[in-house]
A and B are shown apart, each in its own frame.
Chain A
């Protein structure tokens, strides 16, 4: 029980081949590209969802920030679909790997910061010092603001990893507990099963919410810097 609790999180290789690449690219099959004016139902539903999300997410940005629309939309689609596919039994979720989340968070955050420094240098540097701070506090506050800036990509990556990993671990544990309790006391097993159902509903929500939060924060960092 202890060893195979974490075995669903190791990088999948089949006969020595790294099929993690294929598993990471699998969600792209779920999103066919629209070819006609009026498409089939799958594409129409996806188009409607993407328009709904993009209008809501890009409304706060100016012209320059809205050039990031494609990036933010593909980000939320990728994280959302990967998290949802990870809720299927026995499947591997790429977003539980810190390497992938760091690989997503650091370049995007660095892109927003570098955009800010290139185009609005004074305003970007001014972010390090909130308005109206007393004079003796300034050095300490600049250090604190620098630390909080550099922790942003780490927080983005670790938040996503920890949430999804913790959810999957809880499902494994409570499912195992339900199975073990079934022979001992059926009533307790029913209670545990109810907890499992509620947890699965929560995990569906968390899968989508985490995608949204990730993308929202990237867009906020972008808004600060454009």
Chain B
């Protein structure tokens, strides 16, 4: 009974399309990226999955702390810094700008 199960497991493999990113081998990476769903619905689904992954890990817990929103606010500050970098780089303390 156990040997039948072992044989079954070795011959069963997950198709490339449904593998998670960390299970994809490096040689298969370009074909994996090309197989992803880049339609608007797919992109919206990706954002939704990412949002709920963060939300359920840090905010939607029984004893959530301040870390949940403060990480979001820190990312917001960094995003705005990237946005303003062009004007901000003239304000550095340098002799020649």
Contacts and interface: CB of A to CB of B under 8 A. Distances in A.
Given A4-B90, A88-B77, A91-B77, A42 B68 contact: yes
B55 interface: yes
A155 to B, nearest CB: 31
Contacts of A29: 51, 72
Interface residues of A, number: 19
Given A40-B60, A40-B61, A41-B64, A32 B80 contact: no
Contacts of B63: 41
Interface in B62-88: 62-64, 68-69, 72-73, 76-77, 80-81, 83-84, 87-88
A7 B61 contact: no
A193 to B, nearest CB: 18
Contacts of B60: 32, 40
A42 B83 CA distance: 29
Given A4-B90, A41-B64, A91-B76, A32 B83 contact: no
A40 B55 CA distance: 11
B95 to A, nearest CB: 14
B84 A42 contact: no
Contacts of B88: 90
> Residue among A7, A12, A42, A90 with the most chain B CB within 10 A?
A90
Nearest to A13: B83
Range for the number of chain B residues in contact with chain A: 20 to 34
Nearest to B77: A88
B93 to A, nearest CB: 9
A88 B91 CA distance: 19
SS of B interface (majority): helix
Interface string B32-63: 00000000000000000001000100011111
Contact of B80 (A4, A41, A42, A90): A90
Contact of B76 (A26, A40, A41): A26
A37 interface: no
Contacts of B84: 7-8, 90
Interface in A148-182: none
B67 to A, nearest CB: 11
Given A12-B83, A14-B83, A40-B59, A89 B77 contact: yes
A12 B79 CA distance: 12
Given A40-B61, A42-B64, A90 B81 contact: yes
A59 B69 CA distance: 32
Contacts of B76: 26, 85, 88, 91
A40 B66 CA distance: 12
A14 B83 CA distance: 7
Contacts of B73: 85, 88
Q: Top 5 closest A-B pairs, CB basis? A: A90-B80, A91-B80, A40-B60, A41-B64, A7-B87
Given A90-B83, A92-B80, 9 more contacts: A4-B87, A4-B91, A7-B84, A12-B83, A26-B76, A29-B51, A40-B61, A88-B73, A90-B81
